[in-house]
Structure 1
Amino acid sequence: MSHDVQIKIQELVKELNQHNYNYYVLAMPTIGDYEFDKKLEELAELEKQYPEFQDPNSPTLKVGGDITKNFKTVKHKYPMLSLGNTYNEQDLRDFDERIKKEIGSNFEYVCELKFDGLSISITFEDGKLVQAITRGDGVQGDDVTANVKTINKIPHQVYGDNIPKKFEIRGEIFMHKAAFERLNQQREVLGEQTYANPRNFASGTIKMQDSAEVAKRPLDCFLYFLYTDNHRFKTHWESLNEVKKWGYNVCEHNQLVPNIETALEFIKYWETERFKLSYEIDGIVLKVNSYAQQNELGFTAKSPKWAIAYKYKAAEAFTKLKSVTYQVGRTGAVTPVANLTPVPLAGTIVKRATLHNANEIERLDLHEDDTVIVEKGGEIIPKIIRVKEELRSAHAQKINYPTNCPECGTPLIRKEGEAVHYCPNEEACPPQIVGKIQHFISRKAMNIDGLGDETIEAFFKNKLINNIQDLYQLHLHEDELKKLERFGEKSIYNMLKGIEDSKNKPFEKVLFGLGIRYVGETVAKKLALALKNIDNIINADLDTLIAIDEIGIRIAESVRTHFDNPKNIAQIEALKQAGLHFEIIEVEKTAVSEVLAGKTFVISGVFENFSRDALKEKIEENGGKILSGISSKLDYLVAGDNMGPSKLEKATKLKIPILSEQELLNLITQS
């Protein structure tokens, strides 16, 4: 029996990790969210019953949850030095000659891809991950252990016959292109600041305070160097192959080469092939293979003398600007796009480039028919970096950002402090209507089987739907559906079944699907958990909304604006009538005690030993009740660091007792 359980756990771990790879790396999911979550729950339950069979690479170990109020600075045992770098072949030949003068000609190089990410040093003791430190200034870095533990490719425990008792392994944390593009698109539709490239996104993610949020952003990591007090291996190549056996993710494209000529061939090969990778690289690293020879060569103050990085120049091309068009998203954000004369660049044919906003058009001083330089380097999406003004026609007209919506003609607005223009006509602007419905059916929201973006466009064009609630009336139009191209009885049946099944989706999915500006998947869940049902959210004032964990004034005002619109209230009523869930289904929690029975609490700030969710759970399992906002009915405010001053001021004014984390625990244990 136990053997069968062990095999089942191994199968689930392998399957779920493959699904993560399909989704985050390939951007080709082969399983729905619900089915994935069910398999993950099954694995977690088996691991709970049989902890001896838990795999250190299990996806259940990568969910995070720890809150870090500030990152502790830690000195590196082995300094994290920078590599000398070059952009030309002659410098590499000179580097090779210097090495020959020092140690002779009998040496090899290991050629490695230079990943465009964030350097990390991870310490293991007895095979167990105990600490992860960023590069920092090379002498000391930040302790980001809780966040690094959420990365799927970094094991929490490694096994093998030749593992040192304590060692450091170094690598590069990065984000795959497909994940970057998808997450950036999500930020864009929410009106949030997008990242310029995957490296910035990965770097920003690894320094987030809540590791549960880090876990939702798919990071990856290649490990590339082992440090121990006593060398177990004679060469770098030998160590890379050994740590791969221990369970570390080592890049499969590394190559051992006998001389600089072969190294140059490797560099030339990857100059074009790099664009086929699922992640960004910006060069190639050459390392002398022998550890004895590395020691003989030594270091300068800043870098090792036995390694060098060759960096590729960002790919650029000249082309002509044909026109600038403007895309209107579901939130009304208007994004300018440069349409170009097609030009080959970085392995693809580039026809379009992002212009971001009106400021960028002004910065470039774009004119009609300009000759422009397009770059595709660390940025995944091609961008115009400058204009060849000397080639501009004397009669060329300046490109002016429109004052009216290109789709519906409504005057555009631009809020103070924001770079993006918006069309406010959300109820009648076609791309906004279609975009909102497409968002509602999307994988992260209602995930309705049988419906896709093209289908929604076709339904809107044929006047079968004009809003979200119309989806739940499509069963009344089967005859009209059959007249549409590519819609047979089976596809209609599957679609209508998918729509019917969506009525079982939980409240937080429905709330996210409504497409309220700035209310992403996480915020929707926070709102749903805090306020329990849609009526409480509709009636919540700004103070109540801001009191909720992670809800700031911008989000609160957006929620209020949405529900102050009578048409949005009518939409909620129509969806209620259709049978959708608009309240949290409470799961009965096992009570530990009743010592806090009848007492109400609000939790605010960042705590030393517990996350806010963990403190809430502790209060509730001891009979207490969590409120969403501060009022005269509140018994206690539990205050951590970085708490909002308005909450503290209001609690003081109402003479509400304020507890520290330890005082709350004392209240529980001493009552």
Structure 2
Amino acid sequence: MSQPSQDIIQKAQHLRDQLNDWSYRYYVLDDPAVPDAEYDRIYRELQALEAAHPSLVSADSPTQRVGDVPLEAFDQVQHEVPMLSLDNAFDDDELRAFDKRVRERLDVSDAVDYVAEPKLDGLAISLLYLDGELARAATRGDGQTGENITVNARTIRSVPLTLRGDKVPSRLEVRGEVVMPHEGFAALNARQEEAEQKVFANPRNAAAGSLRQLDSRITASRPLEFYAYSMAQLEGVPEPATHSDMLDALRSWNLRVNPEVRVCAGVEALLDFYHGILEKRDRLGYDIDGVVYKVNRFDWQRDLGFVSRAPRWAIAHKFPAQEELTVLNGVDWQVGRTGALTPVARLEPVQVGGVTVSNATLHNIDEIQRLDIRIGDTVVVYRAGDVIPKVVRALPERRPAEAQNISLPPSCPVCGSEILRGDDQVVARCTGGLICGAQQREAIKHFASRRAMDIDGLGDKLVDALVDQELISTVADLYRLQSEQVAGLERMGEKSADNLIAALEDSKSVALGRFLFALGILQIGEETAKSLADCFGDLDTIRRAPLLLLLAVPDVGMEVAKAIGAFFAEADNEAVIDGLLAAGVNPQSSGEPSAAFVNSLTLAQLLKSAKRLGMNLEGIGDKSLETLGNHYRTVAELSAGAAEGAGAEPKGVRSGVMTQLAKALADNGWLARLQDAEAMVAELAARAPAQAESRPLEGQTWVLTGTLEQFTRDQAKQGLQQLGAKVSGSVSKNTSMVVAGAAAGSKLAKAESLGVEVCDEAALLSVFEQHGIDPGAL
């Protein structure tokens, strides 16, 4: 085939530029330059030209949005910056409380500027551009890890393949939402019906399903739209000062931003925006389920920071839930991983907010009795966004004569064990523990999951098969499996079985925090599990730790501390842990408790924890407890002082406290409990190294920028955190060190302008090696 002439090459480039410019005008500026027919005519002209001369086809050509051959599966993508969730406000008062918290934390009295934007009801994705070219697209996933959907994202016309402008970022990660407009959704379902295929329940499900097709040609045929709402990474250009400036920058680079976005000064302006967008909701042409508000200034966002996995500077203001009437046909009782029994309403199917609802939660037996709900009743079903539908009330005036009362089952519907429910307990639980099939299966599935023990190949169906064949009954049994046992299962063979046994062997050496999370302790998430591991240093100490010390762990409150204590007090749980250890599972830990944690375990701290746990110290404030702790130092000295009674109070402690203290120490074994806790503190102190040795970067803030070659940013972050450093996403005058990898951009420039110390990857690796950390193994 002959090479195209220079004229043809130039003509193809002109057509590509023309079509891309029209797309920018249409999608980003919302200002169509030509009718659709003219766009289609030029598109076909370019298509014909490229068909005649395949060498003309470029990656950014509008014709390259037709999809490619099907994939076998999606690759996983680790988000370098987590995709976080937002806290919710469901009424005006909750929004005013949010604004009040923001102003109090910022110590400002004037109205705060926010950016208000519709909360699109679609699928959140991340787009990564390198030197202006779309390099990767990923789903949100669990916020930490998503799926690589690059091939599918390229088919969406409002996702630019190339950024515009003379000065584009060297690295840009954009966050946004993929939605399916109402018109396109209706047309898609019409085609599905005509082809006698399954119709979609709502546009959100259709968008999510379309974007996660292994055959991207199917995605290309679906009417999907993309709207950008934030940036997660920006290098190579100056950072904008505000969120609204950032959105303007995104528009200038060819990225579509929702046209309804507004900057609002103060909470009343936010409420005006909310009620205005709620009124026009049905005319927007796409689904929204609320409004998102974000503090506009980025420096204020950084000052406000985050709590758990949500930013303090943003909130989602949800629209009122939609409700419908239907009939309650029956109640099933489901048994959860912790043994809790949950009543599930079986309903006459009804459409609620575009979704067919046939099941809904009834919460618990107390709620059923409080609402006086009976089988046969006409009930109100409530659904808000993705919230699980729930029955909120019955209509007694429509109650049939044969309506039946709802009561707890006499025994566990799964294993037949006794149902236990104390007088002060809302939740009823099966006493079957590890013999209950529901708890067995869910506990094992959680234990094997990626963020827990990460046992490759041990999926839900295989767990069910292993339990059904009575090859395992607890997680400890996993490590006693033989390859030939697994190979004999349906859909398994020798190779798959060998791979599973190898994966089980690999999982035996796991970080202590992940092991604790894998045990499935009630209310213990990943961060709390990691805190426990860091504070106590080894598994044995955590197993013996009294509530007085558990309460001192950062972010551990009363309910969490009680859940931890109860778990390790249960003989069956202890037997399973012993079985895991005997099978060779070896949770990895330094063996050294955190020096900062040990230093916090003062006598005053123990007294404060004891007060929270019910020791009769009512009326004795924290300041007095601090004074007592500083004066007496040890429990023995405190007890001796208390024995002297009134008049023995240290200076600053009111009269009568020592008499009250003496009685409190004698009640309910509190003296012995404090002495036991103090003994463990001494044990921890003996094992804790000097703080400078155990966490040499304590109090320092490090920033990672650019591409690291020998390990990922996430691995580098974990290594720095082990050494005590805080890893931030932005550079400030308080930054201790910036690690600059290849193609470092604006963060490096900012560090240099502020005089912040900068090192390269080799220097960071040297720090890790000096302290015995292998980041590649994290």
**TM-score when normalising by structure 2:** 0.43
**Relative contact order, higher structure (CA 8 A, sep 6+):** 1
Q: TM-score, normalised by structure 1?
A: 0.49
